[in-house]
Amino acid sequence: MDLMNYVDGKFQAHTGEEWLDVVEPATGRQFARVPLSSPSDVDSAILAARRAQPEWGGLSHSERADWLEIIADELESRYEDIASLESRDTGKPISLARAVDANRSVANFRFFADMIRDHRGEVFEMADADNFVTYRPVGVGALITPWNLPLYLLSWKVAPAIGMGNTVVCKPSEMTPLTANLLMEVIDKVGLPSGVVNLVHGNGDGAGSCLVSHSDVDLVSFTGGTSTGAKVAASASPHFKKISLELGGKNSSIVFADCDLKKTIEGVGRAAFLNQGQICLCGSRVLVQESIYDEFVEGFIDSVESLKIGDPSEESTQLGALISSDHLQKVKEYVSIAKDEGGHFLTGGDDLKIRSSLSRDLEGGYWMAPTVIGGLSPDSRCSTEEIFGPVVTVHRFKTEEEAIEIANGTRYGLAGSVWTEDLEKGRRVAEGIRTGMVWVNTWLHRDLRTPFGGVGDSGVGREGGKWSLGFFSETLNVCVKR
């Protein structure tokens, strides 16, 4: 399967001769190729977006909302394709790809269609004048997305960006381009005006960096790793582009003695290992109040060991493969670091048991057992750096203050969860954590109207609901004296 760029309403061959292999994580086999796009491919896409912007930006909110609905309907008709392509491309279980990736991708377009249809300017009255605030398109947007939730995150950017009248150039991760290609098929099929949405495939250092640093791009919405985010910020800043950075995380799940133990074990396990722990919001450090530490750990390990790992295309699979050989290597390095740092493995740490249970077809895949490590200091590398895999560290704490101090002991500040039957304490502790989002007695329970984003090494800015509409627009205030 050879994919093509989508520029100015057409699937187009790239200008060079080079391709990048797309590998299936569950088998380690190449199954598709994407163009290694050149700067001139990026230029063409930006030019198409620039040409299309005035007319598209001139449509009413309700006309653009209608287009988002049309895209949502067509995407929904390809629900099963989204799930199976995403599962094959990322190695995640098919049930997860349906419930999370396919569902949310459609929901993102519907949600922003409704929001944009109802979106109005504001009026601020003074004694002798009125201020009229209107929201105008920013211009051409560069949308850069990672491999862990490919279409979920791309649709989260495309829908509000074009809904607010911008035109865009997308650059998905070279490792997971298939559903971005599917979105272009959908856009092509419904006949969205040419140039409104463009896509260039390629690698980050090439097409990605060329796109974000281009002088004719007005805004950059980037989701990815913290060190890449720093490069993106540096190349976007000389042109004073609007920029939103959704970066890495090292999130704590804080378990108090008064929690509902059964629900907490289930919730903390989901937070730790969903998508093989490859979600920026995953709770990869579990802080447990001393008096229930042993009881919690025993139940937690039982539940982790019962997770079914294997073929992502099987309905009953709960954990799939990691994204790539390099990433697996990086995660395993942290396992070695944990050993050096004095950690002891409560479960996992290797892939021997998994390998013996896999069919021959899956032997070349990137597998790792869910791993829980105790005995590490909360300021050890494994407990403070983002591992982004199925590896969790467990720590004890005595008081609320100590739990907050440990939770705040990383440079990241994206998310977290607190588990207690005392809801007032839950809120109090949540508000003590230096982070962007905290759930109490739940995790990844998303209301799309709420702000999403982090502080510190987890990024700059918020997306979601009215925050997305604000980011993907420029406000104008006109003050009229009566």
Give the C-alpha separation, 208 to 20, whole Å: 14
152 in contact with ligand NDP (CB under 6 A): no
Name the percent of the chain in helix, strand, coil, to the closest 5.
45, 20, 35
Q: Binding ligand NDP by CB under 6 A: which of 75, 247, 287, 321?
A: 247
Pick the closer one to ligand NDP by CB: 24 or 246. 246
Q: Binding ligand NDP by CB under 6 A: which of 9, 163, 165, 224?
A: 224
Pick the closer one to ligand NDP by CB: 274 or 280. 280
Pick the closer one to ligand NDP by CB: 130 or 205. 205
State in angstroms the smallest separation of the CB of 200 from ligand NDP. 11
Give the C-alpha separation, 8 to 372, whole Å: 49
Residues 449-468 that bind ligand NDP (CB under 6 A): 459
| HEC per residue, 207-269 | HHHHHHHCCCCCEEEEECCHHHHHHHHHHHHHHCCEEEEECCCCEEEEECCCCCHHHHHHHHH
State in angstroms the smallest separation of the CB of 388 from ligand NDP. 5
Let me know how many helices (H) and strands (E) the chain has, helices first: 17, 22
Q: Which residues are catalytic?
A: 246, 280
Applying CB under 6 A, which part among 53-61, 199-207, 252-260, 287-295 lies near ligand NDP? 199-207
Q: Binding ligand NDP by CB under 6 A: which of 155, 223, 276, 371?
A: 223
Cα-based distances in Å from 63 to 57, 115, 122, 482: 11, 13, 20, 33
Tokens (6 digits) for 404:
């907050």
Q: Binding ligand NDP by CB under 6 A: which of 27, 148, 253, 371?
A: 148
Applying CB under 6 A, which part among 46-54, 191-199, 226-234, 295-303 lies near ligand NDP? 226-234
Pick the closer one to ligand NDP by CB: 144 or 430. 144
State in angstroms the smallest separation of the CB of 25 from ligand NDP. 13
β-pair partners for 305:
none
Q: Binding ligand NDP by CB under 6 A: which of 48, 71, 83, 212?
A: 212
One symbol per residue from 275 to 304: x for binding ligand NDP (CB under 6 A), - otherwise; what is it?
-----x------------------------
Pick the closer one to ligand NDP by CB: 272 or 292. 272
Q: Binding ligand NDP by CB under 6 A: which of 42, 83, 232, 321?
A: 232
Please identify which residue in the block is written with the tokens 């609901």: 465
For Cα atoms 266, 271, 272, give the angle at the middle one, nearest 5 degrees. Answer: 100
β-pair partners for 144:
171, 222
Give the C-alpha separation, 455 to 157, whole Å: 19
* Nearest in space to 226 (alpha carbons), one of 248, 245, 203, 209: 248
Residues 327-386 that bind ligand NDP (CB under 6 A): 386
Pick the closer one to ligand NDP by CB: 89 or 246. 246
- Number of other CB atoms surrounding residue 360 within 10 Å: 6
Could you give the 3-state DSSP secondary structure of residue 482?
A: coil
Contact predicate 149/230, CB 8 Å: no
| Maximum distance among all Cα pairs of the chain, rounded to whole angstroms | 79
Contact predicate 116/64, CB 8 Å: yes
Applying CB under 6 A, which part among 59-67, 96-104, 206-214, 298-306 lies near ligand NDP? 206-214
Contact predicate 480/133, CB 8 Å: no
State in angstroms the smallest separation of the CB of 444 from ligand NDP. 11
Pick the closer one to ligand NDP by CB: 315 or 447. 447
Which residues of this chain interact with ligand NDP, rule CB under 6 A? 144-149, 171-175, 203-205, 208-209, 212, 223-225, 228, 231-232, 246-249, 280, 386, 388, 414, 459
